[in-house]
């Protein structure tokens, strides 16, 4: 007999308890079907509608995409990518722990700062002071966010988070600062905050499409399982299918030392060099060695050990 029916639930997901709200009936009006999350704080109730549902309700703004690629700031890599990453796209940097994923993103933000493009570091694992120190140690300049081409560094502590709250905050800052370059340092941080694993595909795809529609070029880092060799595992949830380009970083045994390697394994638009190259950390950030020459040959670490 009622015109509206709203249900509130506290649901246990693993060790975490989340609050869910759902409009089950709203007579004579449209409604967002399905559950969303909400929080209760000293400021009252705050509702976070599902990102993939709300962003899917409106058509993305159709804006002309620039044909000029955006430089990554990594010497040699832009040559391999025929100029850089495609504007308004999402590129995944997939790599072993310590292979240079964070430095890759910082190079990208610093390159934008040089030409006055506002940047945004959105991370989960490193405090802002640590990120600023890491950039400075390799000669990268990240101007403060209040300056032209400034870079905002935002850290989300590894605690219980709601993915929809993170997405809302991210999009608010992008709009407020007219961000052109975004680095999400750790897809694992977003994945952990999604609560329901099956959401990560629709959630990240919707967020990426929205960022693209707003003229943002995004780099996102993702950790590969394993340290050596080319047979490392990619994310099992299909995350690699959600991005336009993939840069692969890994280690290789080269005599008595380890060397970092870089290759392009996916780039939907334009021509690119898929050869395997050596990646070095220099006083000016990352640099690709021999980008215009022949690719490297590597050997399987397990095979080389067995022969020894």
Q: Return the pLDDT at 1.
A: 85
Residue 291 or 4, more confident? 4
CA distance 64 to 91: 19
Q: Return the pLDDT at 255.
A: 73
Q: Return the pLDDT at 294.
A: 56
125-129, 139-143, 168-172, 201-205: which is most confident: 168-172
CA distance 43 to 157: 21
Residue 305 has pLDDT above 50, yes or no: no
Local confidence band at 232 (pLDDT 50, 70, 90 cut-offs): low
Question: Tens of pLDDT along 106-137?
Answer: 999 999 999 999 999 999 999 999 999 999 99
CB count in 10 Å sphere of residue 61:
10
CA distance 214 to 208: 10
Residue 62 has pLDDT above 60, yes or no: no
100: Cβ–Cβ under 8 A, 6 or more apart, which residues? 249, 260, 279, 281, 286
Question: Tens of pLDDT along 2-41?
Answer: 999 999 999 999 888 999 999 999 998 988 999 999 999 9
Residue 56 or 302, more confident? 56
The closest of 188, 94, 102, 106 to 140, measured between CA atoms, is: 106
Q: Return the pLDDT at 276.
A: 92
CB 89 within 8 A of CB 70: no
Segment 177-199 mean pLDDT? 94
Q: Return the pLDDT at 124.
A: 94
Mean residue pLDDT of the chain comes to: 87
Q: Is 136 helix (H, G, I), strand (E, B) or coil?
A: helix
Q: Return the pLDDT at 296.
A: 56
Percentage of the residues of the chain whose pLDDT score is greater than 90: 68
Of 9-13, 56-60, 267-271, the poorest mean pLDDT is in 56-60
Domain positions in the chain: 4-49, 77-307
Local confidence band at 57 (pLDDT 50, 70, 90 cut-offs): low
Q: Return the pLDDT at 308.
A: 36
Residue 215 in tokens: 């003229």
Q: Dihedral of the CA atoms 27, 28, 30, 36 (nearest 10)? A: -10
Q: Return the pLDDT at 301.
A: 42
List beta partners, residue 247: 93, 264
The closest of 272, 305, 307, 269 to 288, measured between CA atoms, is: 272
Residue 211 in tokens: 């960022």
Q: Between the CA of residue 82 and those of 68, 169, 262, 269, what are the distances in Å?
A: 10, 34, 15, 10
Q: pTM to 2 decimals?
A: 0.88
Local confidence band at 304 (pLDDT 50, 70, 90 cut-offs): very low
Fold of 77-307: Rossmann fold (3.40.50)
């Amino acid at each position: 007999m009622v015109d509206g029916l709203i249900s509130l639930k506290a649901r246990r997901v693993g060790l975490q308890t989340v609050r869910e709200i759902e409009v089950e009936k709203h007579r004579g009006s449209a409604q967002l079907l399905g559950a969303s999350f909400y929080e209760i704080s000293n400021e009252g109730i705050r509702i976070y509608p599902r990102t993939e549902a709300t962003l899917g309700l409106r058509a993305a703004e159709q804006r002309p995409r620039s044909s000029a690629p955006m430089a990554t700031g990594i010497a040699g890599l832009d040559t391999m990518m025929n100029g850089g990453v495609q504007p308004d796209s999402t590129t995944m940097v997939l790599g072993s722990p310590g292979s240079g994923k964070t430095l890759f993103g910082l190079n990208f933000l610093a390159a934008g700062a040089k030409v006055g493009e506002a940047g945004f570091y959105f991370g989960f694992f490193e405090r802002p002071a640590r990120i600023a120190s890491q950039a400075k140690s390799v000669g990268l300049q990240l101007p403060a966010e209040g300056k032209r081409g400034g870079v905002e560094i935002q850290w989300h502590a590894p605690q219980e988070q709601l993915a929809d709250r993170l997405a809302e905050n991210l999009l608010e800052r992008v709009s407020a600062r007219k961000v052109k370059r975004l680095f999400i340092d750790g897809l694992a941080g977003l994945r952990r905050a999604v609560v329901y694993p099956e959401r990560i595909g629709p959630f990240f795809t919707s967020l990426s499409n929205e960022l693209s529609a707003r003229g943002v070029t995004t780099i996102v880092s993702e950790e590969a399982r394993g340290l050596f060799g080319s047979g490392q595992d990619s994310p099992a949830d299909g995350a690699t299918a959600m991005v336009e380009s993939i840069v692969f970083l890994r280690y290789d045994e080269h005599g008595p030392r380890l060397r970092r390697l870089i290759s392009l394994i996916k780039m939907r638009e334009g021509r690119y060099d898929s050869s395997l190259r050596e990646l070095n950390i220099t006083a000016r950030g990352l640099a690709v060695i021999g980008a215009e020459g022949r690719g490297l040959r590597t050997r399987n670490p397990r095979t080389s050990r067995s022969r020894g």
